[in-house]
Chain A
Amino acid sequence: MKAERIKSIGIDGLLKNNPTFRLVLGTCPTLALTTAATNGIGMGLAVTFILICSNVIISLLRKIIPGEVRIPAFVMIIATFVTLVRMLLDKFIPDLYESMGVYLPLIVVNCIILGRAESFASKNPVADSALDGLFTGLGFTWAMTAISIIREVLGAGQLFGITLWDFRIEFFTSSAGAFFVYGLCIALFNGAYTKIESKMRRKRFRSLYEAPLGEETLQAVAEQDTSVKEGR
Chain B
Amino acid sequence: MTVKQFLKSKVFRCIIVLMCIALVSGALLSVCNDLLKVSDEERVLRTIKKIYGSEIGYEEIEVSYETDTGRIDNIYKLADGNYLVKSTGYNGYQQGTISVWLVAKYDNGKYAGIDDVSVADNEKQTLMSKFTAGVLSEYEGKGEEDFNVIVGGATYSSHALNNAVNVAAKYFLGQTEETGGNGYEG
The yes or no answer to A181 lying at the interface (CB within 8 A) is no
Whether the Cβ atoms of B38 and A66 lie closer than 8 Å is: no
Comparing B11-19, B78-86, B137-145, B146-154, the segment that makes contact with chain A is B11-19
Nearest B residue (CB) for A77 = B21
In B1-54, the 8 Å CB interface with A consists of: 10, 13-14, 17-18, 21-22, 25, 28-29, 32-33, 36-38, 46
Which 3 pairs of residues, A with B, have the shortest CB-CB distance?
A: A80-B25, A87-B36, A69-B14
How long is the Cα–Cα vector from A77 to B29 in the complex, in angstroms?
Answer: 11
Known: A84-B29, A87-B33, A90-B38. Contact between A76 and B10, CB under 8 A?
no
How long is the Cα–Cα vector from A91 to B38 in the complex, in angstroms?
Answer: 6
The yes or no answer to A94 lying at the interface (CB within 8 A) is yes
Nearest B residue (CB) for A76 = B21
Q: How many residues of chain A have a CB within 8 Å of chain B? A: 19
Known: A87-B33, A87-B36, A91-B36. Contact between A76 and B28, CB under 8 A?
no
Prevailing SS type, chain B contact patch: helix
Nearest A residue (CB) for B18 = A69
Q: State the A residues within 8 Å of B (CB).
A: 61, 64-66, 68-69, 72-73, 76-77, 79-80, 83-84, 87-88, 90-91, 94
Nearest B residue (CB) for A91 = B36
Of A68, A77, A80, A90, which contacts B10 at CB under 8 A? A68
With A69-B18, A87-B32 given, name 7 new contacts (CB 8 A). Answer: A69-B14, A72-B18, A73-B18, A76-B25, A84-B28, A90-B36, A91-B36
Which residues of the other chain, A, contact B38 by a CB distance below 8 angstroms? 90-91, 94
How long is the Cα–Cα vector from A83 to B21 in the complex, in angstroms?
Answer: 15
Which residues of the other chain, B, contact A61 by a CB distance below 8 angstroms? 21
Nearest B residue (CB) for A75 = B21
Whether the Cβ atoms of A80 and B17 lie closer than 8 Å is: no
